[in-house]
Every structure is written in structure tokens, then in C-alpha cells.
């Protein structure tokens, strides 16, 4: 006995998340999916290749649905990506408990993002490579427990239900990955270069030259006059040779008001 379309779930997947679908689901604009068990829409979408973290809305006509919805045969759904500029600090139907602020946990497969996010002024920690976090579930739970957005290129990691806020980083090179994250979460107005320690993630505080003079090399002491110091590791920062290169890298995402 062959099934008609009335026996199948119909899914229209919109936007760039179509690229994440397994190849066999990418051919047609409407996917007809055979329901074999009482699976949630989260499990169905993820079985087709898209981690739930990438979904911005699940719609049945004019109705919004959440990830626990169990589709019945004959239902037609629209699956939409998270729109650029969506702040995780605002509640949405799929994620009614927003984050208090945008902080990040960076997986080792996008490791360069840690220092780039810090350079732009954001709170970013690397996934700890400690013995306590040896499974993907441990990492997922750690990101949720610390209220951090999990950034990764690992689909399986992001499929863990513990992860509410995460991003399957699409861009290949680290600067483009940074721009992707800033634009996705609408963070451009919060970019604050050289406000955070690249080594330990703590805030930098302006200090007088006199207070750090004893720790400066002679040429640094001669040519630079403005200094900042990390509150935790006490590293000293000044606008030396790396400064302009970093500023050039950040230019595409600097707030409009600070561009000339
Ligand atoms: Zn530091």
C-alpha cells in the first residue's frame, strides 16, 4: 500500500537553513516526510539535518508552534531561520526565556572567535578542555548553566536539547565568523573595541602611565601615553603596532557613530 500526500507531513523550509538539510531533502521546495512514530518537530527537523538552534519560527498557517509539537499526518508547516538582527535578550515564541545579556561559549572548532569577540568587547570563553567536559552533553549543559550562546561548527553538539541559544557558525575564516555573529544577533551598537582582556576576558580599566611605567619597555614608555590594564591578570594594553590592524579588522562592524 503506498501512502498519499495526506498521510505525510509537509514541510516548507525557508532561507539559509535549507543549505543545512541533508541532500535528499534539498531537491524540492516542499518536503513530504513520512511520520513513523510520535516524534516532536524538533526531532524531525534535526533528523533532516538542521539543529534546533538555527530555527527562528515553526508555523502552521498563522499559528506559531514550539519544538515539542508532535505533527500529525496531513499537516503543513513552514520552518523559518533566525532572522539577522534577532537579539537573544528579547523573548520569542520558541525561546520565551531570553538571555540577560549576550555572552558566548566558543567551541574549539571555531577557536579564533574567542579572541576576536573579546577584541570587539564581548564576553567570550572557550569551551574548557577540562576532564569534566569530555562529552558533547557536558559542553551543552555548561553553556546553558552559564547563560552563554554556544558557537560551534558541530551540528551534533547543537542538537542537544540543553542548548537554547547557539549558532552553527557558517563562515569559514575567523573575521567573517565574527561579522556573522555580530550581524546575526544585532550587536553592532554594542561593539566596544579594546575594552576587554584578550587573554582572560576580564574588563580593561584605564590607568595612568605612572602607575605602570615600571613594567614598560623603554620604547613603549617613550612613544605611548595611554594605557589600560586588565583587572584580573594585570596585563597592560596600549595602542601599539597591533592596534591599527585590529581596528581595520573591526571596521566592518563598528557602530555607525564611530566610523569616519
Ligand atoms: Zn587579563
Percent of the chain with pLDDT over 90: 83
Per-residue pLDDT band for 260 (boundaries 50, 70, 90) equals very low
214-236 confidence digits (pLDDT tens)? 999 999 989 999 999 999 999 99
Using the mean position of ligand 1's atoms as its centre, give its distance from the Cα of residue 105 in Å: 17
pLDDT computed for residue 39 by the predictor: 93
161-208 confidence digits (pLDDT tens)? 999 999 999 999 999 999 999 999 999 999 999 899 999 999 999 999
Contact between 82 and 54 under an 8 Å Cβ cutoff? The reply is: yes
Backbone angles phi, psi at 227, to 5 degrees: -135, 150
Using the mean position of ligand 1's atoms as its centre, give its distance from the Cα of residue 115 in Å: 12
Classify residue 38 by burial, with Cβ atoms within 10 Å: 0-12, 13-18, 19+.
Answer: exposed
Classify residue 157 by burial, with Cβ atoms within 10 Å: 0-12, 13-18, 19+.
Answer: buried
Q: Report the pLDDT averaged over residues 33-52.
A: 94
96-118 confidence digits (pLDDT tens)? 999 999 999 999 999 999 999 99
Using the mean position of ligand 1's atoms as its centre, give its distance from the Cα of residue 6 in Å: 60
Using the mean position of ligand 1's atoms as its centre, give its distance from the Cα of residue 41 in Å: 44
CA distance 99 to 172: 27
Work out whether the CA dihedral 109, 115, 120, 124 comes out positive or negative: positive
Using the mean position of ligand 1's atoms as its centre, give its distance from the Cα of residue 238 in Å: 14
Using the mean position of ligand 1's atoms as its centre, give its distance from the Cα of residue 196 in Å: 8
b or e along 200-217 (b: 16 or more beta carbons within 10 Å of the residue's beta carbon)? ebbebeeeeeeebeeeee
pLDDT computed for residue 36 by the predictor: 80
- Whether residue 77 has pLDDT greater than 60: yes
Tell me the C-alpha to C-alpha distance, in Å, between residue 100 and each of 42, 79, 136, 148.
25, 27, 24, 10
Using the mean position of ligand 1's atoms as its centre, give its distance from the Cα of residue 80 in Å: 40
8-31 confidence digits (pLDDT tens)? 999 999 999 999 999 999 988 999
pLDDT computed for residue 45 by the predictor: 97
Using the mean position of ligand 1's atoms as its centre, give its distance from the Cα of residue 163 in Å: 28
Residues in contact with 54: Cβ distance below 8 Å, sequence separation at least 6, in sequence order: 17, 20, 81, 82, 158, 167, 168
Using the mean position of ligand 1's atoms as its centre, give its distance from the Cα of residue 227 in Å: 14
- Whether residue 1 has pLDDT greater than 50: no
Using the mean position of ligand 1's atoms as its centre, give its distance from the Cα of residue 231 in Å: 7
Using the mean position of ligand 1's atoms as its centre, give its distance from the Cα of residue 153 in Å: 27
pLDDT computed for residue 145 by the predictor: 94
The answer to which of 80-94, 118-132, 157-171, 207-221 has the lowest mean pLDDT is: 118-132
Strands (E), 110-249: 124-126, 149-152, 166-168, 204-207, 227-230, 236-238
pLDDT computed for residue 2 by the predictor: 52
Continuous segment of H or E residues that includes residue 13: strand 8-13
Using the mean position of ligand 1's atoms as its centre, give its distance from the Cα of residue 60 in Å: 49
Which domains, from first to last, does the chain contain? Answer: 5-81 (3.10.20.30), 104-190 (no CATH), 204-247 (no CATH)
Per-residue pLDDT band for 7 (boundaries 50, 70, 90) equals confident
Amino acid at each position: 500500500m503506498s501512502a498519499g500526500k495526506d498521510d505525510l507531513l509537509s514541510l516548507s523550509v525557508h532561507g539559509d537553513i535549507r543549505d543545512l538539510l541533508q541532500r535528499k531533502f534539498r531537491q524540492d521546495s516542499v518536503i513530504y516526510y513520512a511520520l513513523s512514530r510520535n516524534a516532536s518537530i524538533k526531532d524531525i527537523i534535526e533528523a533532516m539535518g538542521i539543529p534546533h538552534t538555527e530555527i527562528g519560527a515553526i508555523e502552521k498557517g498563522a499559528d506559531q508552534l514550539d519544538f515539542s509539537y508532535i505533527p500529525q499526518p496531513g499537516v503543513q508547516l513552514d520552518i523559518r531561520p533566525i532572522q539577522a538582527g534577532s537579539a537573544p535578550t528579547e523573548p520569542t515564541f520558541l525561546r520565551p526565556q531570553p538571555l540577560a545579556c549576550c555572552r558566548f561559549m566558543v567551541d574549539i572548532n571555531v577557536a579564533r572567535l574567542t579572541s576576536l569577540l573579546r577584541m570587539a568587547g564581548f564576553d567570550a570563553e572557550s569551551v574548557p578542555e577540562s576532564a569534566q567536559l569530555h562529552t558533547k552533553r557536558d559542553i551543552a549543559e555548561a553553556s546553558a548553566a552559564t547563560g552563554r550562546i554556544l558557537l560551534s561548527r558541530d551540528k551534533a553538539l547543537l542538537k542537544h536539547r540543553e542548548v537554547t541559544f547557539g549558532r552553527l557558525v557558517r563562515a569559514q575564516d575567523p573575521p567573517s565568523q565574527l561579522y556573522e555573529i555580530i550581524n546575526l544577533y544585532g550587536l553592532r551598537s554594542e561593539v566596544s573595541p579594546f575594552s576587554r582582556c584578550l587573554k582572560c576576558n576580564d574588563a580593561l580599566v584605564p590607568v595612568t602611565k605612572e602607575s605602570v611605567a615600571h613594567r614598560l619597555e623603554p620604547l613603549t614608555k617613550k612613544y605611548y601615553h595611554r594605557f589600560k590594564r586588565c583587572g584580573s591578570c594585570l596585563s597592560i594594553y596600549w595602542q601599539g603596532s597591533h592596534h591599527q590592524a585590529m581596528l581595520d579588522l573591526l571596521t566592518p562592524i563598528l557602530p555607525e557613530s564611530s566610523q569616519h
